[in-house]
């Protein structure tokens, strides 16, 4: 999962420098997959599997399927233009707390 996160962050930075604002900056990696992964791991449907390798494979399949569905739910507003209507109401004043809180979250990591 961490390798996928870093790979996608690299692709995001590359896309941002080529097509976006031309700034090679990503605020931080996305950890939106963590609650999904934890809930799939703790689901009762995987408790009866004795083989650790098979249990790992099924958990990873479930996690990847869930992430595909949720990313589709994020892609639809982006491509349909709905996100443009939402960001119209956001000002730089609303973006400052987002960047600040991301920085504070990374501050404790050094």
Identify the DSSP state of 51: -
Q: How confident is the model at residue 79 (pLDDT cuts 50, 70, 90)?
A: confident
Determine the longest span between alpha carbons in the chain, in angstroms: 53
The values of phi and psi at residue 49, to 5°, are -85, 120
> Domain limits of the chain?
1-30, 33-107
Question: In this predicted structure, what is the pLDDT of residue 54?
Answer: 92
Percent of the chain with pLDDT over 70: 75
CB 26 within 8 A of CB 16: yes
CB atoms near residue 14 (< 10 Å): 12
CA dist 32 and 16 (Å) reads 20
Look up the pTM and report it: 0.51
For residue range 56-72, what is the model confidence (pLDDT) as tens digits? 898 888 888 888 888 88
The H-assigned helical ranges of the chain are: 2-18, 33-41, 52-80, 82-87, 92-107
Question: In this predicted structure, what is the pLDDT of residue 1?
Answer: 62
pLDDT of 97 over the 60 cut? yes
């Amino acid at each position: 999962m961490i390798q996928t996160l870093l790979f996608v962050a690299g692709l995001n930075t590359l896309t941002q420098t080529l097509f976006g604002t031309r700034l090679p900056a990503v605020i931080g990696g996305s950890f939106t997959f963590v609650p999904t992964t934890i809930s799939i791991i703790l689901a009762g449907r995987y408790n009866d599997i004795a083989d650790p390798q098979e249990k790992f494979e099924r958990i990873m399949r479930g996690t990847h399927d869930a992430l595909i569905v949720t990313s589709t739910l994020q892609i639809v507003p982006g491509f349909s233009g709905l996100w443009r209507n939402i960001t119209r109401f956001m000002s730089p004043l609303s973006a400052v707390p987002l960047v600040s809180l991301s920085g504070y979250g990374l501050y404790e990591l050094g």
